[in-house]
Amino acid sequence: MDSARIYSEAQERLLALAEGLGPAALDTTVPACPDWTVHRTYAHLAGLCADVVAGTVTPPASDEVTARQVAEREGRGIAEVCDEWRAAAPALLDLLRTQTRLRYRLPAIDVWTHDNDIRGALGLEPVTEHADTLLDFALSGLARAWPEQATGPVVTATDTGRSWTLGAQGGPHWRGTSFELYRALMGRRTADQIAAMDWTGDPGPYLTALSLMPAAREPLSV
Is the pLDDT at 122 greater than 90? The verdict is: yes
Q: Which pLDDT band holds residue 46 (cuts at 50, 70, 90)?
A: very high
Question: Pick from 208, 34, 16: which is nearest to 115 by CA?
Answer: 16
Listed in order, the ranges of the chain carrying CATH 1.20.120.450 are: 3-121
CATH topology of domain 3-121: Four Helix Bundle (Hemerythrin (Met), subunit A) (1.20.120)
Give CATH 3.30.1050.20 domain extents, the chain. 131-206
Measured N-to-C along each axis, helices 106-121 and 3-18 cross at an angle, to the nearest 10 degrees, of: 30
Q: How far apart are the first and last CA of the chain?
A: 23
**What's the pTM value of the predicted model, to 2 decimals?**
0.94
Mean residue pLDDT of the chain comes to 94
Residue 22: DSSP 8-state = -
* pLDDT value of residue 102: 84
**131-206 — its CATH code?**
3.30.1050.20
74-93 residue pLDDT tens: 989 999 999 999 999 999 99
Confidence (pLDDT) at 169? 87
Stretch among 70-84, 94-108, 118-132, 172-186 having the lowest mean pLDDT: 94-108
Query: Tell me, what amino acid is at 120?
Result: G
Percentage of residues of the chain with pLDDT beyond 90: 84
Residue 36 confidence (pLDDT) above 90: yes
Answer whether 88's CB lies under 8 Å from 53's CB.
yes
Alpha-carbon distance values, 53 to 35, 91, 188, 215 (Å): 26, 6, 28, 30
Asked if 11 and 107 count as a contact pair (C-beta separation under 8 A), the reply is no
- Cβ burial of 7 (10 Å; 0-12, 13-18, 19+) is buried
Is the pLDDT higher at 40 or at 212?
Answer: 40
Give yes or no for residue 185 having a pLDDT over 90: yes
Does pLDDT of 62 surpass 90? no
Instruction: Convert the pLDDT of each residue in 131-173 to its tens digit.
Output: 999 999 999 999 999 988 899 999 999 999 999 999 998 899 9
**With bands split at pLDDT 50, 70 and 90, how would you rate the model's confidence at 44?**
very high
- Range list of β-strands (E), the chain: 29-30, 33-37, 154-157, 163-165, 173-176, 198-200
Position 35 scores a pLDDT of 93
Tally Cβ neighbours within 10 Å of residue 67. 16
SS (H, E, C) 88-111: HHHHHHHHHHHCCCHHHHHHHHHH
Identify the pLDDT of residue 137. Answer: 95
Cα–Cα distance, 204 to 192 (Å, whole number): 10
- Angstrom distance (rounded) from CA 126 to CA 117: 9
Burial class (CB within 10 angstroms; exposed 0-12, middle 13-18, buried 19+) of 127: middle
* pLDDT higher than 90, residue 23: yes
* Alpha-carbon span 169 to 112, nearest angstrom: 32
- Nearest in space to 52 (alpha carbons), one of 85, 110, 92: 92
pLDDT of residue 17: 98
